[in-house]
Copies of this chain bind each other. A is one copy, B any other.
Amino acid sequence: MAAENNNNVVQVSDLPVKRPREEEQDGGENGATDTLSTLSNHSQHPGISAVIPGWFSEISPMWPGEAHSLKVEKILFEGKSDYQNVMVFQSSTYGKVLVLDGVIQLTERDECAYQEMITHLPLCSIPNPRKVLVIGGGDGGVLREIARYSSVEKIDICEIDKMVVEVSKQFFPDVAVGFEDPRVTLNIGDGVAFLKAVEEGTYDAVIVDSSDPIGPAQELFEKPFFASVARALRPGGVVCTQAESIWLHMDIIEGIVANCRQVFKGSVNYAWTTVPTYPSGMIGFMLCSTEGPTVDFKNPVYSIDEDDSQHSTRPLKFYNSELHSAAFCLPSFAKRAIGSKAN
């Protein structure tokens, strides 16, 4: 397991980033040098955002001109998988943080919001889900949430990057606990290929817990992928995919919605929630159903928050039925852009 290789564990001070002062000396008289970007560009870890001494800064062409920074107590792991750079650090106020290709995937402090919403929005919208597929989701958090449903018999997960699974098991036990459920089968491989091999109509629900559409997850935002998902779902089955931020990526979202509208012949809806450590402080979800029994995503048929009191393990921190319905209410600018394409 890569995480056990101490050669991969580096301290902040070991990182070969270029410091602003050096850059200023290089750059001559222009004091307004683009420091953070410069750090990023000069890093010997392409794709990893700069770690200025003591802080991690998330910089990406996906959200130009802004950066969210977390104070680093200690970098716990840094490695390069076949697909991406993987980093874990202990932050001073958000707990441990998982970073892929320089982008924050989860923090212990706010992971509940994303994991609970991406799971319960689709699963509370259909009665008695039995077979569920997760594409991506290698940290195990979505599995943990699916495991709350006693109706579920089979949970398949297809994660492309083994290192994400291993690192999560080592550093995020409260998230990766999802892998321990006996109903889970882990497949390491390409989600697109996995879906093509799946028998038609297999799943009640598919949850696509992907990173951004730059890097290994790019295909997961394209039409052929959505068609494979639709094929793998039973009639009236549901899919929920990570679908970016209405503040930052309305163009991407409009494309996703248009694709889904063509592929999914049931309902097509957009929802969102607050996640402080994601760019713009929020994340959206695309919720679609295939032709068959009607799915009214805005009005959940199952109240897991009420039933949840029976589970002594881990009460829901974030999701509840009221918030479920509220998540589909969009600001006017987003409603105008998405509204005509969704229903």
Q: Could you say how many copies of this chain the assembly holds?
A: 2
Query: Are A54 and B34 in contact (CB-based, < 8 A)?
Result: yes
Does A289 sit within 8 A of B, measured CB to CB? no
- Assembly CA distance A65 to B66 (angstroms): 17
Query: Are A32 and B20 in contact (CB-based, < 8 A)?
Result: no
Q: List A residues 44-68 near B (Cβ within 8 Å).
A: 52-55, 57, 63-68
Query: Are A110 and B247 in contact (CB-based, < 8 A)?
Result: yes
Task: State the Cβ distance, A233 to closest chain B Cβ, in Å.
Answer: 28
Collect the chain B residues with CB atoms within 8 Å of residue A13's CB.
Answer: 30-32
Query: Are B305 and A318 in contact (CB-based, < 8 A)?
Result: no
- Assembly CA distance A94 to B247 (angstroms): 11
Query: Are A65 and B94 in contact (CB-based, < 8 A)?
Result: yes
Kindly report which residue of chain B lies nearest to residue A245, judged by CB atoms. B276
Collect the chain B residues with CB atoms within 8 Å of residue A94's CB.
Answer: 65-66
Collect the chain B residues with CB atoms within 8 Å of residue A280's CB.
Answer: 274, 276, 281
Binding site for B on A (CB under 8 A): 11-14, 19-22, 24, 30-36, 52-55, 57, 63-72, 91-94, 109-110, 112-113, 245, 247-248, 272, 274-276, 278, 280-282, 305, 315-320, 322-323, 325-327, 329-333, 335
Query: Are A69 and B53 in contact (CB-based, < 8 A)?
Result: no
Task: State the Cβ distance, A319 to closest chain B Cβ, in Å.
Answer: 7
Query: Are A335 and B317 in contact (CB-based, < 8 A)?
Result: no
- Assembly CA distance A93 to B335 (angstroms): 22
